[in-house]
Amino acid sequence: MNRLDRYFLAQLFGPFGFFALVIAGILWLAQALPLIDNVIESGQSGLVFLEITSYLVPKVLMVALPIAALSASLYALNKLYSESELVVMMTAGQSPMALARPVAIFGTIAMILMAVVTLFLVPASQTRLGQRLADFRSDFAKTLVREGQFIHPVKGITLFIRDTSKQGEMAGLFLSDRRDAQNPVIYTARKALLLQDQDATRIVMFDGNIQRLPEGTTQLSTVYFDQFSYDIGALLAAPSSRNRTPFERYVPELIWPDEEMQASERYDRGDYLAEANHKLVMPVSALVLPLVALGAILAGGFRRGGFMGRVMGAIGIGLFIQASVGVTKSMVQGNGDLFWTMYLPGMGGMLIAFLLLLKAGRMPRRHRL
């Protein structure tokens, strides 16, 4: 790699870092906002929110890196061409194919980053994120102890707690049990404690009453108590083993699914093959899109009026390639034998870039300059 290649790469990596940061930040924010409800409902802290949203970073990078590679290439190439630096390079004898070398090196580095993110970081982070969210949903005790709110842990149960203390005491408890619509029961207590052990989870109420309206009568039955224990173990559904989605699995698992995966009623062979090949194909776009950008800029020759038309053309080609990957993935989900079609968009993009560069190389020098 000569000095010119290193200079070209320096012009590409600066915008690449900027665009990757901006695009990933926007996507991260859009993905993180819906998780706020999960964190609030489970009574978790802000640090926990930062922890679970950090697991979204690989997912958003998988989308952001190819877009950032294309955007950085278009920005750097348009800047170099507008400032006549690219013209000087070509006047000095650099052909479009020679100029493609540093862009290809840049694309290869971006592709390697994409491969690490897609093949390793995404499955690991999404598995961890799914498990943490499942833990939040199963952490029933923290869900119950929320002051000043009417909550409905299960259908037919309404719970209200006026106040709570750091010691776990609850004041002003109201519990309505209407699971049996014919025999509703209301529990009220001046204070209560939520107790958990290995065998049971129960609310111990103090200084309260139980109100019943037996079926077929209009007379309210009230029983006062000093202490009463209400077993809520029946309300707690034992957390079932979570079935990981194809997106959370590594490529070898998807290509060679085990018996448990094959027995799944939710996913089939097409889903696994589609996701496996999608993880393999996505890194290639980080290589193809910068070369398409270079070909689009060089193919039309030099214009003092700018290259907005070519920039839009390169963006259009890039969007078409990325959309084609999504379309072929849907096809493979319906028929796993069509997995090879997912490689056609990348191959087509490489062919388009090659033809554009070939056209730029055959263009008369006076048109290129």
Task: Give the pLDDT confidence score for residue 40 in this predicted structure.
Answer: 65
Which has the higher per-residue pLDDT, 206 or 363? 206
Contacts with 269 (C-beta within 8 Å, 6 or more apart), sequence order: 257, 262, 336
Answer yes or no: is pLDDT of 196 > 60. Answer: yes
Task: Give the pLDDT confidence score for residue 143 in this predicted structure.
Answer: 59
DSSP of 99-124: HHHHHHHHHHHHHHHHHHIIIIIHHH
At position 300, the amino acid (one-letter code) is: G
Q: Which residue has the tokens 């840049």?
A: 106
Q: Residues 231-258: pLDDT tens digits?
A: 876 555 544 456 789 999 999 999 999 9
The number of residues making up the chain comes to: 369
What is the chain's alpha carbon radius of gyration, rounded to the nearest angstrom? 30
Tell me the backbone φ, ψ of residue 223, rounded to 5 degrees: -125, 125
Task: Give the pLDDT confidence score for residue 38 in this predicted structure.
Answer: 66
How far is residue 271 CA from its own chain's centroid? 18
Q: pTM value?
A: 0.75
d(CA 272, CA 256): 9
| Stretch 10-25: mean pLDDT | 95
Q: Residues 113-146: pLDDT tens digits?
A: 999 999 999 999 999 988 887 776 655 555 566 6
Task: Give the pLDDT confidence score for residue 86 in this predicted structure.
Answer: 78
Domain ranges of the chain: 3-138+243-368, 146-235
At position 214, the amino acid (one-letter code) is: P
Range in 70-74, 280-284, 357-361 the model is least confident about: 357-361
DSSP of 240-261: PPP---GGGS-HHHHHS--HHH
Task: Give the pLDDT confidence score for residue 368 in this predicted structure.
Answer: 46
Question: What are the b/e assignments for 231-244, b being 16+ CB within 10 Å?
Answer: ebeebbeeeeeeeb
Share of the chain above pLDDT 90, in %: 49
Q: Residues 85-100: pLDDT tens digits?
A: 877 887 777 788 888 9
Band of the pLDDT at 326, cuts 50, 70, 90?
very high
Contact call for residues 35 and 49 (beta carbons, < 8 A): yes
Containing 280, the helix (H) or strand (E) segment is helix 269-299
d(CA 316, CA 54): 32
Between the ranges 81-85, 268-272, 304-308, where is the mean pLDDT highest?
268-272
Q: Is 146 exposed, middle or buried (0-12, 13-18, 19+ CB in 10 A)?
A: middle
Query: CA neighbours within 13 Å on the CB side: how many for 58?
Result: 22
| Stretch 145-158: mean pLDDT | 77
d(CA 49, CA 240): 24
Contacts with 258 (C-beta within 8 Å, 6 or more apart), sequence order: none
Q: Residues 256-271: pLDDT tens digits?
A: 999 888 888 889 999 9
Which has the higher per-residue pLDDT, 188 or 152? 188
